[in-house]
Amino acid sequence: MSDKEIICLGLESSCDDTAAAIVKRNADGSAEILANIIHTQTDVHAPFGGVVPELAARAHIEYMDVIVEQTLKQANLNYSQLDLVSATSGPGLLGGVIVGLMSGKAISLAHDLPFVAVNHLEGHALTAGLSDGLSPPYLLLLISGGHTQILQVNAVGDYQLLGSTIDDAIGEAFDKVAKLLGLGYPGGPFVEAYAKQGDPTRFKLPRPMKGRKNCDFSFSGLKTAVLHAAKAIQPISEQDKYDICAAFQASAADCLADRVKRAMLLYREDRNIAENEICNLIIAGGVAANKAIAKKLDELGKNHNFKLIVPPSNLCTDNGAMIAWAGITQFLKGNVSPLTAPPKARWPLYE
């Protein structure tokens, strides 16, 4: 089956993006994205400064069928030309997951197509194969609004957790800092834009977990330090906001780099890889779009013989293409899901 062309429809609805895509896996193993449509719900959730699960689920119900039809039209295909359907089965906001999962099952049943229930995190983990043709093994830093993990990706379906956050995910910390400073939602792009105009040395913020022997993260204390810094200089000016954002982003990047550096050592030890041998470091998830963080990790990689690979930003945020590609990789391994596959609010990738 490995030399077979496969066309897959992938559906994603685990948070606040309603997404569908059609990906073709060519006989030579290369990938083509035939269509990739994402309906964002930013306007719906912005007034609340974060995602409201009930509103997200309702929006998925309203838009999923429309997005699927638009995706087929963009790819100039009909259901009979598909070979496979995949949909996110978790982890995520359960109401949203159910919408995409049930839609995928319905299409599978109505058109007699194989179905694969995909772990959303595996979609991120395998995106480098879709964007850069890269196969495991590699080291993965998954950074998003809901997840902050370092994983050793040994093969498709074989993932080893090296470290994770013990409190807030990094994307959540960016959102909360932006909300605190009144910048807007989602917070990541606002904080990054403000940081470019600020002095990262003005405020002395902590680097939680730095130097620890494990690879875990913590961002709650950093977020609290930002709160105290902002309170101490009221009334706060625009320049104050620039400087706080610059200091926060620098601290977050330093924390990530320190934890990844430790993971690099563990990765080499576990796989018995010499220090002068080039390895791959993949960044995935929405926060991977942050240029300052990518630059910091690129410098780290060059110093430790790790090549940094960051997929395009539209494949780092939640999207249907990564779900289609993950579905294809599982299908090629002979894995097909029953239509009884349950939605999961929690689904650790390493399980």
* Whole-angstrom distance, CA of residue 26 vs CA of residue 290: 31
- What are 220-249's pLDDT values in tens digits? 999 999 999 999 999 999 999 999 999 999
* Whole-angstrom distance, CA of residue 228 vs CA of residue 224: 6
One-letter amino acid of 207: R
Tell me the pLDDT band of 4, cut-offs 50, 70 and 90.
confident
Mean residue pLDDT of the chain comes to 95
Residue 209 is predicted with a pLDDT of 95
- What are 112-145's pLDDT values in tens digits? 999 999 999 999 999 999 999 999 999 999 999 8
Instruction: List all residues 6 or more positions away from 341 whose beta carbon is below 8 Å from its beta carbon.
Output: 89, 101, 105, 115, 117
For 162-181, give the DSSP string.
EEEBSS--HHHHHHHHHHHH
Whether residue 2 has pLDDT greater than 70: no
Residue 45 is predicted with a pLDDT of 87
Give buried/exposed letters for 114-147 (b at 16+ CB in 10 A, else e): bbbbbbbbbbbbbbbbbbeebebbbbbbbbbbbb
Of the chain, the end-to-end C-alpha distance in Å amounts to: 26
- What are 46-85's pLDDT values in tens digits? 888 788 988 989 999 999 999 999 999 999 999 999 999 9
More confident residue, 77 or 43: 77
Domains of the chain, CATH where assigned: 6-133+315-332 (3.30.420.40), 138-313 (3.30.420.40)
Q: Minimal CA–CA distance to 252: which of 188, 329, 197?
A: 188
Paired with 153 in beta bridges are: 138, 159
- Residue 244, number of CB atoms within 10 A of its CB: 27
Backbone angles phi, psi at 247, to 5 degrees: -70, -45
* Whole-angstrom distance, CA of residue 36 vs CA of residue 24: 12
Give 279's DSSP letter: E
Whether residue 1 has pLDDT greater than 70: no
Give 59's DSSP letter: H
Q: Across residues 161-187, what is the average pLDDT?
A: 94
pTM, 2 dp: 0.93
